[in-house]
Amino acid sequence: MKLGLIIKSTSAGEQEVFSINKGEEWAKFAADSRSIIKDLEGFDGSGKSVIVAKILGSLGYLIGVVKARPEGSGRPNDNTTAWIHVPAKMNITGNELTSVIMYVGEQLAAPMGINPAILNELFTKEYANKDVKYPALAFIGGYNPEGSIGWRYYGIGTGYALHELLGNSLVQTSYKKYKCICFVDKSLNLSTIGGEIIKSDPKEPIKVEAPVDNNGFTAFIKTKNQEIPFTDAIEIPTNTPLMVI
């Protein structure tokens, strides 16, 4: 199982400049970042970077590394964004994902532009699958285009480093109401317009083992529309009700 990548740049319009392991199902959510970063005061023209997450439910999630245009270049809110796709069943830690983000960010900032060979090597790595029938992201639901932006600061004084907010810590039922979560390094001294500041403590999802068949009785997970045989382990977000019959 591999990560996917799409790099897009904006200058009078939006162009896709590079991709690896691209899948059309998730690629359509790797959209223009200008509508997000326009609500960050002091970001445009700074050359600074922020991280954006879009929860896609059973499709996994997207991590956007958004680099603002340098001062004096381009048009307002122009940027380069690298969208990293993480499949829902991929077993990747916050530390591993933060490392990928760091390398991708270095490529976006490279004076001579991205080096395809470096990115291809980075995105050929195989990650293990989670040993569950359904991952926790499947219980959160798909992308919410009508939601607001959730802003989350990390770094000194916030109580969390970036890696502690990524990986399994992205699987929060409270994130359902946002169209995206924007992670901002506190040291960048950026303020937000609109949206909502998130301060809640992230909780790890829980793995629930399937009950054994007992005297002919088999467990089912009851959802709104159906009953699903509970024959293999599943993963659910913390504080998610689970009805087993």
Q: What is residue 111's predicted lDDT score, i.e. its pLDDT?
A: 84
Helices (H), the chain: 24-27, 34-37, 94-108, 116-122
Task: With a cut of 70, list the residues of the chain below it in pLDDT.
Answer: none
Q: What is residue 217's predicted lDDT score, i.e. its pLDDT?
A: 85
Q: What is residue 216's predicted lDDT score, i.e. its pLDDT?
A: 82
> Do residues 136 and 58 make contact, with C-beta atoms less than 8 angstroms apart?
no
* Structure confidence by residue, pLDDT tens digits, 166-185: 999 999 999 999 999 999 99
Q: What is residue 13's predicted lDDT score, i.e. its pLDDT?
A: 77
Q: What is residue 212's predicted lDDT score, i.e. its pLDDT?
A: 81
The model's pTM is 0.94
- DSSP secondary structure letters along 19-83: EES--HHHHTT---SHHHHTTEETTTTS--EEEEEEE-GGG-EEEEEEEEPPTTSSSTT-EEEEE
Q: What is residue 113's predicted lDDT score, i.e. its pLDDT?
A: 85
Domain boundaries, the chain: 4-197, 206-236
Q: What is residue 187's predicted lDDT score, i.e. its pLDDT?
A: 95
Q: How far apart are the first and last CA of the chain?
A: 33
Which of helix, strand or coil describes residue 95?
A: helix
